[in-house]
Structure 1
Amino acid sequence: MKVRRSLMKHNLVLAAVVCVALMASACGPDVPPETTVSQKTEQFNELMKRPDIDRAAAGYEELYAKVREQVTAEVPALKWEVANPESSAACGNDFAAVNADLRKNDAEVKGLANWVAKGNLPDFQWKHVASTVGQVAGTYGFGGGEVVVDQPGNHEIVFRDQYNAELNFGTAVNTTLLLRTGCHLTAEAKKRGTPAAPPTY
């Protein structure tokens, strides 16, 4: 009987020690959970490293003009005309959080006016002229050149820069030059320097 009481007493003491330990751990100093920057802020901060959309578009327009000039110098028969006006849209999935819940976009992509020259660029000239376009684009940070189409009388190549802008040069029935920017903050958002607060309804 004494052994049993002693064992019960021992168990109660052990239980008390465990409870005290648990209480101590529960009542210890609060350690704040690890905090992370919101996706919206992360994406906005990434875009702050880039020029605003107006400055970016101005640089691309300069590139655009030099490409047309160089192509015309090599193939004088090509006469460039604007086919479609400039357009703009919200950024794609990579920066979708920046514009989430906003009435007016903080970030956007632009499609510069499309240029078309009537007539096809002959196959024997294509590689040389495409290479020239690539060289001019390279001075503006565009690399490589992805061949999209390479068939007799039908060619298309795309160059991209660090912001994922795309310069598209092709020839088929007509010869075309297209440029779409990557995602950039608007001048207003860039000047503000922080994400816009969602509207209150």
Structure 2
Amino acid sequence: MRLILARHGQTAANVAKRLSTLPPGEPLTDLGRAQADALGARLADADVTAVYASTAIRAQQTAAPVAAAHGLDVTVVDGVHELFVGELEDRADEPARELFYEIEQAWEAGDAEARLPGGESAAEVFDRFRPVVERITKGASGTVVLVSHGGAIRIVGGALTGGPTLPGYLPNTGLVVLRPAGDGWELESVDETVPQPGDVAAGGPAE
């Protein structure tokens, strides 16, 4: 079986590069809905057996075309929402983004206990996300799709495969694909870029 962790499509906060992490959050933009449709088409030939989404509206809207392509429903699950940025919530100023990237770099260097002011550490994100992964993949076959959020996916994708946070940036509707390996998981692929409808790409650091 495979586990696909998919980032949601574009929102207005992505366009503004605003740190927006609290669910239910904002809906997709017109481009975001087009991205979701494109993701559904991209995964239409995959052997998808279940589709899950976080409690955020944007994640559920992104998951809907994927589920529809396979005659499935979207199951909403707790615990897989975006990492909370605490005091930086709804900020789009340069100091806020610089602080976010500073903490992100600490995570990439292996310091999972580093945390944003009033927000979460990478370790806390993994601790709430991991039980959901274990539950939705236990006894599963085919491909399980979970639509979540860029920051959380990078943290969890790294931790599940025995390393720190995955480096780089996961674009809107980007995918992290994992396969079982022994008692854990191995990384099959990570999207660095995703073709965008209209050749327009936009995203924010955490949203």
Q: Shorter-chain TM-score: what band?
A: under 0.3
Structure-2-length-normalised TM-score: 0.23
Q: Of the two, which has the highest radius of gyration?
A: 1
Structure-1-length-normalised TM-score: 0.23
Higher relative contact order (CA 8 A, sep 6+): 2
Structure whose residues are more often helix by fraction: 1
